[in-house]
Chains A and B, each alone.
Chain A
Amino acid sequence: MQDRRFSDEELVAYLDGETELVPMAQIEAAVQEDPALAKRLEALRFDVTALQESFELLQPSRDVLGALPVRGRAPAKRPMAAVAMAACVALAVGFGLGNWTSGPERSGWVGYVAAYQALYTHATLDHIQQTPEQLQNELARVSAAVGKDIELAQLTALPDVEYKRGQVLSFQGRPLIQLAFATPSGVPMALCIMRREEAAVSEEALATMRLEGLSSAVWSDGAYDYVLIGGTEDGLVRRLGQALQSMQI
């Protein structure tokens, strides 16, 4: 087998110690005996440690926070990663970061939605381009997750925002749907709907507030809780919230 010709791929796998992929002992023996093979092997070597060290130069910035939509109570100078992560952790385990007052029964999920929305950047929705058919199919699947049947036309009829995407999230094991919109300038906005565990007798009037520094409208029809959140145009969010409430989406 010593005259067997080894490919560059095999020689590289040998250098990388991939013992399961190549016959290490055979290659080693062949290199000892064949100067040409040894030369080829040398040509494939490089300083892996230097490569690893070179990547240590790449560290997330400590001052990119200003460019991110992490708002609210986050101190402006904290490392972006730490703040983004704090928000991630908070929302993933399901408690809110917002400094606000609301009924305790819905505070958990509303806080979750707010912390989640605060992570969205303009770029989050920028790249999403779906055909009306795709949007319709997605919407049928997503709205069914909370026992609703929302028509695409209801969402596309809203003034000043473009409907972009629907997805199912979960909060403490219960489904929560998020319907994402973008304003003409690209500001992300979301309508989140969650079914109440126990239907209440009465509706709850629409209330507007800032959650995580984002304009928000919160209301309920007794069976479902709704949050519309995004951007900082309080008037726009109030108007859209009222439109959604009146169409009993």
Chain B
Amino acid sequence: MLGRWRKYSAEEEVAAGLPKVFPRIWRYAFSLTGSRDGADDLAQAACLRAIEQASKFQPGTHLDRWMFRITHNLWISEIRKEKVRKGGGMPMVDAAEIPDPKQDPERDYDRQEVLKSVLDLPEAQRVTVVLVYVEGYSYKAAAEILDIPLATVMSRLATARASLGRKFRDQRGMSRAR
């Protein structure tokens, strides 16, 4: 009985938490697939997978990290493989998929440029940058989500920062740089 209660509780927790995590998962899916359609498919597949495996979720732990891990594993194990097999190469981020500036053209233009330079990074660096700088995960949490050693997170970020630092340097003031 207790086992049954626990299982149900995990499923409920996943169901209740999904809507809040979804926009972040979709954004991460976009940075992996490089297109809105790809992000829709991957984020949706991740939701399905999360529901299928809800009983494996430990209630009370971080649902968001668990979802990011599912999304990443799905991308690595299945979808990317298929994309590469069909397209004969790694998926490239399509700049046309990035939304057009609307409300504040100048500011949005800057943001688009920044976004493009992150999306142009090699995949390994890109995913690490997104998890640490956009999603705000610690190195350790990012390493767990990506299932890589901490030292790999460090070296990816160092390489990414070197190239992003070069690109951003003259574009905007460095007032908020860290």
Contact = CB atoms under 8 A, between A and B. Distances in A.
Interface of A: 7-13, 15-16, 18, 21, 43-61, 64, 67-68, 80-82, 84-85, 88-89, 91-93, 116, 119-121, 123-124, 126-128, 167, 169-170, 172-173
B4 A58 contact: no
B37 A50 contact: no
B146 interface: no
Nearest to A174: B4
Contact of B111 (A54, A61, A116): A54
A45 B158 CA distance: 10
A51 B45 contact: no
Interface string B53-96: 01100000000000000000000001101100000000000000
Given A57-B99, A88-B51, A173-B7, A45 B165 contact: yes
A16 B51 contact: no
Contacts of A127: 78-79, 81-82
Given A58-B115, A89-B16, A91-B51, A45 B174 contact: yes
Interface string B13-31: 0111011001100110011
A88 B12 contact: no
A126 to B, nearest CB: 7
A127 B81 CA distance: 8
- Please report whether the interface of chain B is mostly helix, strand, loop or mixed according to DSSP: helix
Nearest to B41: A123
22 contacts: A9-B155, A9-B157, A11-B158, A21-B139, A21-B154, A44-B158, A44-B161, A46-B165, A46-B169, A47-B172, A47-B176, A50-B176, A51-B134, A57-B98, A57-B99, A61-B40, A84-B47, A88-B47, A127-B81, A169-B52, A170-B55, A173-B8
Nearest to B108: A57
Given A51-B133, A58-B30, A119 B112 contact: no
Closest 9 CB pairs of A and B: A92-B15, A127-B82, A54-B115, A54-B114, A9-B154, A8-B158, A45-B177, A173-B4, A54-B111
Contact of A89 (B18, B45, B52, B98): B18
Contacts of A126: 82
A167 B44 CA distance: 18
Nearest to B50: A88
A55 B39 CA distance: 14
Nearest to B43: A60
A45 B79 contact: no
Most buried by A among B11, B129, B169: B11
